[in-house]
Amino acid sequence: MVETGITVCRRWFEEVWNEGREDLMPLLAAADVVAHGIAGPDDVAYGLEAGFKPMYRTLRGAFPDIHFTVDEVIGSGEMVALRWSVRGTHRGDELGMPATGKSVAFTGMTFARVVDGKIVEGWNNWDMMGLLNQIGAATAARVIPTERG
């Protein structure tokens, strides 16, 4: 049911991420959930315990005040698509660099497959380079104009 999938995904962002309710993960996602793109475009995390939770703890540790806003959500069958934005402050060293204290804002999208009231698979695409640039962990790419003729 589409509405159930939308509700589950909204709860995932509001309660798991915004409220830090890691304890709700097993209620909202399957134990063997597959998450694509959470730590990079080719990254795939398998399972809540071994795959998703380590990334979740790293990101929440680096940005303890992380807050997701679901900007748009639509659903069809088992699929739910969400466009979201994030704000937070880099207060932890979990990303492998000292905390900068800098405020960050970035956006992303998630497509989630929800079966029997639980997220079973998710595809994520988010502005990782924008985040890294904001905390000084990456050098912005320089666009070189091409000659048109």
Domain residue limits at 20: 2-134
Tokens representing 37 are: 């793109």
pLDDT at 39: 83
Average pLDDT, the chain: 92
Is 85 among the domain residues? yes
pLDDT tops 70 at residue 140: no
Total domains present in the chain: 1
CATH of the domain at 35: 3.10.450.50
Model confidence band, residue 139 (pLDDT cutoffs 50, 70, 90): low
Is 148 among the domain residues? no
Global pTM reads 0.89
pLDDT tops 80 at residue 92: yes
Is 102 among the domain residues? yes
Determine contact, residues 57/85, Cβ cutoff 8 Å: no
Is 140 among the domain residues? no
User: 10 Å Cβ neighbour count for 42?
Assistant: 7
User: 10 Å Cβ neighbour count for 140?
Assistant: 9
Distances (CA, A) of 76 to 28, 62, 82, 83, 115: 18, 34, 12, 15, 12
**Mean pLDDT across 102-126:** 97
Is 141 among the domain residues? no
Is 76 among the domain residues? yes
